[in-house]
């Protein structure tokens, strides 16, 4: 079974009043190209997260994001009451000592003073929170792998269709082979007959014709191409991770089809070869997306 490198997975895990959100996307790539965006409290776990993703996803261009959505209460900024009380006492004392009246919007003024609104500090995640994050990553990765499996099934269907069409086109070559040989023989013979007064060895001519026709024989190319088509299909049924191997087989298929075209020397055969190349090109484009 083949797997696609294209995939998407997401999970949301509840931890206390927080929602831990994990999102992972992947596209095709020759090797693992991983980029991560993590909430600050999980930066210390980055290498562990990278190892998890690399082991599970193997290769491809992967974008990973991990963020935390706080509950409503947690999102409310906290007021440092001790600092605020200190400011009020000092301002009252200054007003009494100097006779300067306190402003009407005293409360608003104090709220703008430094350190009254407490800053949120970055905290280190506890082991319990990390366990929730770990589970969220596993769920998102499993979701992505299922996406890859479904995409792989769709790709396999397209490949089987392409291979079937190439095989069908290959069988259409045979009727033109004998016709081609007879046409070549007739053309050479007619050309020689037009050479008036030229004597030639007919036995030698027959030997040369046989030698020439053997050079144009495509039976070996047909057999090798058939073997490659069958090998491609059997490789798809192996365990995942066969993308590079399928790419190599497709290259070999291309060599045989090109040789078939160069030897064809027949308009209909060349048309068939062009159609086979079209099917093969579709395989080559899609095989880049196979794990």
**What's the rounded Cα separation, in Å, for the pair 268 and 173?**
8
Q: Tell which residue, 273, 259, 40, 92, has the closest CA to residue 166.
A: 273
Q: What is the pLDDT along the chain (291 residues), one digit of tens a residue?
A: 899 999 999 999 998 888 999 999 999 988 899 999 998 888 889 999 999 999 999 989 999 999 988 765 555 667 778 888 888 888 888 888 888 888 888 888 887 888 777 655 556 678 888 899 999 999 999 999 999 999 999 999 999 999 999 999 999 988 877 777 677 766 777 766 666 566 666 676 666 666 666 667 788 889 999 999 999 999 998 877 788 999 999 999 999 999 888 887 778 888 999 999 999 999 999 999 998
- The CB density around residue 22, as the number of other CB atoms within 10 Å, is 24
Rounded CA gap, 224 and 255, in Å? 10
Domains annotated for the chain, with CATH where assigned, are 7-73+125-148 (3.30.230), 78-111 (no CATH), 152-287 (no CATH)
pLDDT for position 117: 74
Nearest to 39 by CA among 119, 120, 122, 126: 122
The CA distance from 6 to 222, in Å, is: 34
Closest CA to 111 of 75, 84, 78: 84
3-class state of residue 167 by DSSP: helix
Euclidean distance between CA atoms 232 and 225, whole angstroms: 10
Q: Where are the alpha helices (DSSP H) in the chain?
A: 46-57, 72-75, 81-98, 106-111, 127-171, 174-193, 202-215, 219-236, 243-264, 267-287
Q: Provide the 10 A C-beta neighbour count for residue 85.
A: 11
Task: Write down how long the chain is.
Answer: 291
Confidence (pLDDT) at 121: 55
List residues bridging with 12 in a β-sheet.
Answer: 21
pLDDT at 74: 52
pTM: 0.71
Distance (Å, rounded) from C-alpha 242 to C-alpha 231? 12
* Long-range Cβ contact pairs of 162-165 (< 8 A, separation 24 or more): 162/279, 162/280, 162/282, 162/283, 163/229, 163/232, 163/233, 163/283, 165/275, 165/279
Identify the DSSP state of 123.
-
């Amino acid at each position: 079974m083949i797997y696609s490198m294209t995939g998407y997975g997401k999970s949301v895990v509840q931890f206390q009043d927080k929602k831990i959100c994990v999102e992972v996307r992947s596209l095709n790539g020759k090797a693992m190209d991983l980029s991560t965006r993590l909430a600050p409290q999980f930066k210390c776990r980055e290498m562990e997260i990278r190892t998890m993703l690399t082991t599970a996803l193997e290769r491809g261009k992967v974008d990973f994001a991990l963020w935390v959505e706080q509950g409503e209460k947690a999102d409310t900024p906290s007021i440092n009451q001790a600092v605020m009380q200190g400011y009020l006492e000092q301002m009252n004392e200054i007003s009494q000592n100097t006779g300067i009246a306190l402003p009407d919007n005293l409360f608003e003024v104090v709220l703008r003073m430094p350190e009254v609104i407490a800053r949120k500090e970055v905290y280190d995640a506890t082991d319990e929170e990390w366990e929730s994050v770990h589970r969220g990553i596993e769920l998102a990765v499993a979701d992505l792998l299922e996406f890859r499996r479904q995409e792989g099934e769709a790709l396999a269907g397209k490949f089987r269709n392409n291979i079937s069409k190439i095989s069908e086109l290959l069988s259409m070559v045979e009727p033109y082979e004998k016709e081609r040989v007879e046409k070549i023989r007739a053309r050479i013979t007619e050309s020689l007959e037009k050479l008036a007064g030229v004597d030639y060895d007919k036995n030698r001519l027959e030997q040369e014709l046989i030698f020439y026709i053997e050079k144009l024989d495509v039976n070996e190319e047909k057999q090798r191409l058939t073997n490659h088509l069958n090998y491609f299909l059997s490789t798809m049924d192996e365990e995942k991770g066969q993308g590079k191997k399928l790419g190599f087989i497709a290259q070999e298929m291309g060599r045989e089809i090109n040789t078939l075209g160069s030897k064809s020397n027949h308009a209909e055969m060349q048309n068939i070869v062009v159609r086979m190349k079209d099917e093969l090109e579709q395989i080559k484009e899609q095989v880049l997306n196979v794990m």
